[in-house]
Chains A and B, each alone.
Chain A
């Protein structure tokens, strides 16, 4: 079992729809969770981070965390073609606050 798992996609959504990206993790001691966006040929850029159970909203983005289910998700409302990218879920390992473990990413394609 991978430490951080994501569906590789592609996830295709029409413009204006809600895109839902999901991630599960195996280390129950994990405390911090991050979503990065990576355009083709570019470096990862941070979109959201979440530490507590529940929802965290920032503009069109909402991160959701459920530690009991070891599940974190990213919702993108009013999806735009410019949101088309690979979204990487990253988890800070419990007990060692220096190593981020990345999932392999979900490719999102927003169709105009």
Chain B
């Protein structure tokens, strides 16, 4: 069972470059999420998509954009990368109602 798949697993960018982090889930979940995790800060929600066709800002959306391409896929884009965006990025999905989130393996992003 693949669950939640994130690509790439590692990436190094230069300041000002752009890139898109990909996330796909095969559990037929309605909701998908993007988090970043930094030392001492815990998981912080960047954007989420409650259902196909909708997206909403989370706690730290500045500098990011998202696209819910279809029910399976939810991508995160950095238009002009900054060193402050160096982090580990996790994608997650969940079913409707009071269900837990399931996480991908993460993308480790370094911006020089």
Contacts and interface: CB of A to CB of B under 8 A. Distances in A.
Majority secondary structure, A binding face: loop
A103 B102 contact: no
A104 B40 contact: yes
B107 to A, nearest CB: 10
Contact of A105 (B42, B94, B101, B106): B42
A44 B94 CA distance: 14
A20 to B, nearest CB: 20
A45 interface: yes
Interface string A70-112: 0000000000000000001010100001111011110000000
Nearest to B106: A43
A51 B58 CA distance: 24
Given A43-B103, A98-B48, A104 B42 contact: yes
